[in-house]
Structure 1
Amino acid sequence: MAHPHWPLFDVEARTPTITLRYVDDELSLALADLAASGIHDPSWTPFLHPWTDEAPQDFGRKAMQFHWRCRAELAPEHWSLNFAVLVDDEVVGSTGLNADKFVVQRTFETGSWLGQAFQGKGIGKEMRAASLHIGFAGLGAQEATTSAFEDNAPSLGVTRSLGYEPNGFQRVQRRDELGIIHAFRMPRPHWESIRRDDIELTGVDAVLPILGL
């Protein structure tokens, strides 16, 4: 084990085309630089909490604070596992798994983003598949959830292509306007029906005790 005191740093998920690697400080800074280069048209935001509205010069500090906070607050009752997405060792985006009371509920939520230069290349679906593999195969989940604004066509396209079930919608304030978020769920039996055999997990077993599993 390379990181006995924080084995999460050893967690990876590999597919034939991408790698998910748990975010350390170096990856956190790389993600901040990528986000500062652009994720979406600034006239619109796909995020409920519009963190990309921050000044680009603040991204580095706030990215570090976010990832430090997620590590500091990690506990069986609530956790956020954040991963950098790499293609040929280049950081192209980020994906996260979040859960409350997972030991009992066995449900996790995913969220992700890609740098603009890497969108439209099929990476989004591949990173979602890898995230689902971590949650279901690695952590023993029984359900995965996700959500997206109704005008976030790429995210909704990935979700629907994987066969998620609609799970209601929510009216929220996005910036200063009304936004509609569509929610989705994937029960474990459906994931089993689309489970891939070409995704490899590394380091997950050492993390299970930290998550109460």
Structure 2
Amino acid sequence: MLTLEEIFPPFALRIACGPVVLSVLRDDDLPELVELVRSGIQVPDLPMPFLRDWHEEPFAPGSPDGFPTTSLGWWWTQRATFAPDEWRLALVVRRDDVLVGMQDMHAKDFPQTRHVMTGSWLGRAHHGQGTGTLMRQMAVGFAFDELGADRCESGYIVGNHASAAVSRKVGYVDNGRRRIVQHTRQSKVGTDEQRVVVTSTSYVRPGDEVTVDGADGVRRFLGLEGGRRDA
């Protein structure tokens, strides 16, 4: 009988550095992830970091509305629509075997663009330990070294100094601002987003060794044989 990893190769991906491990979100992770969201994400006195305030929806387990059902639909959709032309990797972040956050990677027409979008968040209780910087370094390094990306792009709401600091530490540089709309339960709100970009020349690697398992299967699944680059 085939294993789940043979059926869907991204499930075999594991990126590790020191106490931090990134792996593709599985259904078994969901109860722990839901509890992490409930314990709080947004840092007081900082701008709302998401396009939609999904993390503040009413907690309604077993209901078709509210959290976690609406978020489950999004996480499952990423897996269901995973394809070479457009893919999203929802990576759970564990530190010392405890789920502490999520690191997302998204690409469209990657073989032609060699461009990856990154986004991430940590549970509020897990800030201040260097995890946010390290998980982003690990994801960017995977994109460059294992997939052959030319650049990774991200963004943060202007005024979110914590996200700005992480971006600088990883080697991102400013790449223009744009006006975006955030959706809250009260209304739609216009705000400014700072775009940032990192290339292989500006990228700052982690101080400790990074190990990657399962990258070959991901490359085959995406039609990227030969895409790996020596670090």
TM-score greater than 0.5 by the shorter chain: yes
Q: Distance in 1 between matches of 2:33 and 2:44?
A: 18
* Bigger proportion of residues as helix: 1
Match of 2:214 in 1: 203
Q: Percent identity?
A: 30
Could you tell me which of 48, 54, 57 is aligned with 1:54? 57
Could you tell me which of 76, 93, 106 is aligned with 1:68? 76
Q: 1:27 to 1:41 in 2, by over 3 A?
A: same
Match of 2:229 in 1: none
Deviation at 1:138, TM superposition (A): 1.5
Deviation at 1:61, TM superposition (A): 2.3
**Does the CA contact (< 8 Å) of 1:79 and 1:98 recur in 2?**
yes
Match of 2:134 in 1: 126
Deviation at 1:41, TM superposition (A): 4.7
Match of 2:8 in 1: 6
CA deviation vs aligned residue, 1:30-69 (integer Å, no higher than 9, x gap)? 2122112210157851111221131123333233222210
Match of 1:105 in 2: 113
- Aligned residue pairs total 211
Residues 1-213 of structure 1 correspond to what in structure 2 (within 5 A)? 3-41=5-43, 44-57=47-60, 58-174=66-182, 175=184, 176-191=188-203, 194-196=204-206, 198-213=209-224
SS at match of 2:100: strand
SS at match of 1:111: strand
Q: Distance in 1 between matches of 2:118 and 2:12?
A: 20
**Does the CA contact (< 8 Å) of 1:35 and 1:59 recur in 2?**
no
**Does the CA contact (< 8 Å) of 1:82 and 1:97 recur in 2?**
yes
RMSD in angstroms over aligned alpha carbons?
Answer: 1.8
2:17 maps to amino acid: T
- Of the structure 1 ranges 175-184 and 90-99, higher mean CA displacement relative to structure 2 is found in 175-184
Q: Distance in 2 between matches of 1:195 and 1:42?
A: 30
SS at match of 1:179: strand
Q: Which runs of 4+ in 1 moved over 6 A?
A: none
CA deviation vs aligned residue, 1:81-133 (integer Å, no higher than 9, x gap)? 01111011110000110011101100101101111110122110011111112
Deviation at 1:17, TM superposition (A): 2.2
Q: With structure 1 as the length reference, what TM-score do the two structures score?
A: 0.92
Deviation at 1:2, TM superposition (A): 6.1
Q: Distance in 1 between matches of 2:88 and 2:72?
A: 14
SS at match of 1:189: coil
Q: 1:8 to 1:124 in 2, by over 3 A?
A: same
SS at match of 2:190: strand
1:209 maps to amino acid: R
**Does the CA contact (< 8 Å) of 2:89 and 2:105 recur in 1?**
yes
**Does the CA contact (< 8 Å) of 2:43 and 2:124 recur in 1?**
no
SS at match of 2:138: helix
- Of the structure 1 ranges 59-68 and 128-137, higher mean CA displacement relative to structure 2 is found in 59-68
